[in-house]
Structure 1
Amino acid sequence: MAVHSTGETRQRNPLARLGERLTKSVTQLEADELKEDSVRMGCTPMNELVDREVATVSGTVRAITLRPRVTVPALVVDLYDGSRTINLVWLGRRTIGGVEPGRYLRATGRVTYTRGVPTIFNPAYEIVPPRAH
């Protein structure tokens, strides 16, 4: 819906929406859907995260990496919400059941920027069922 200066709301022209969909790439359409899902779930868009603030983010798991260390392993999940990627890092974990590429997650924790990339260490998380997002 569009809000006009008179305060009235109108439905967007369906042909205009179709035109937008026809001119965008599949990647951009998927990113737009992820952004809409994130906002609908009440999450902070990843391109708006503030350093050292607690945030709830959601998105699709793009990659999972195990960083083996001599003392403590670290499981790193790249989560994408259509605007940016964030690293979710679980220290001392090698796997997390159900977390795999393509899954949709919601995670909460304190954001820190590591080498310019937003990161949450040991976040609280939930796997969101496909129909819920």
Structure 2
Amino acid sequence: MANTGLLKRLGKMLTEDLDEIEDERVQRESQAASKDLADGAQCAKDCSRGDEAVMVGELRSVETCSRNTHSGVGAEFFDGTDTVLLKWMGRNRIPGIEPGRRITVRGRVATADGMKVVYNPAYDLHGDDD
């Protein structure tokens, strides 16, 4: 009865919240990509203030500033488990940092306004074929 499994998956897809499906997709892809890293990567939900972290996920949104403001570039990073704000200070734009982009980030986790933040993270952009 191979069709039973297919019917269960189809039923789940039709009744499950689209955000939950998207979160599971991002989490699966992030975990698969982190296995390729020599050091491995942490889940964002497991990272705490002060931790030196390596995380793999995707950028959900990106905010840039005008040349006059110099407040930096901010991006919402999500790995399927938690959201982390990435903040590059003194930059008004960073090529390749755009919504939907898969990325590996490295840096020390801080907190600001109750949210996890990594300031000036090192990063590797993932191509469409990764």
- The two structures have a TM-score, normalised by structure 2, of 0.78
Provide, for residues 15-71 of structure 1, a one-character-per-residue CA deviation record: whole Å limited to 9, x for no partner.
544443332122211110111112222232222211101111122212212356978
Per the alignment, residue 118 of structure 1 pairs with 116
**Contact persistence 1:34–1:81 (CA under 8 A):** yes
How many angstroms apart in 2 are the aligned matches of 1:68 and 1:117? 24
Listed as ranges, the gaps of 5+ residues in structure 1 are 1-12
Give the structure with the higher percent strand. 1
Number of aligned residue pairs:
120
- The two structures have a TM-score, normalised by structure 1, of 0.77
2:129 corresponds to 1:131: yes
Provide, for residues 65-120 of structure 1, a one-character-per-residue CA deviation record: whole Å limited to 9, x for no partner.
23569784311111122222111111111111111111111111110111111111
2:14 corresponds to 1:22: yes
* Cα root mean square deviation, aligned: 2.3
How many angstroms apart in 2 are the aligned matches of 1:15 and 1:91? 50
Q: Which has the larger radius of gyration?
A: 1
Listed as ranges, the gaps of 5+ residues in structure 2 are 35-40
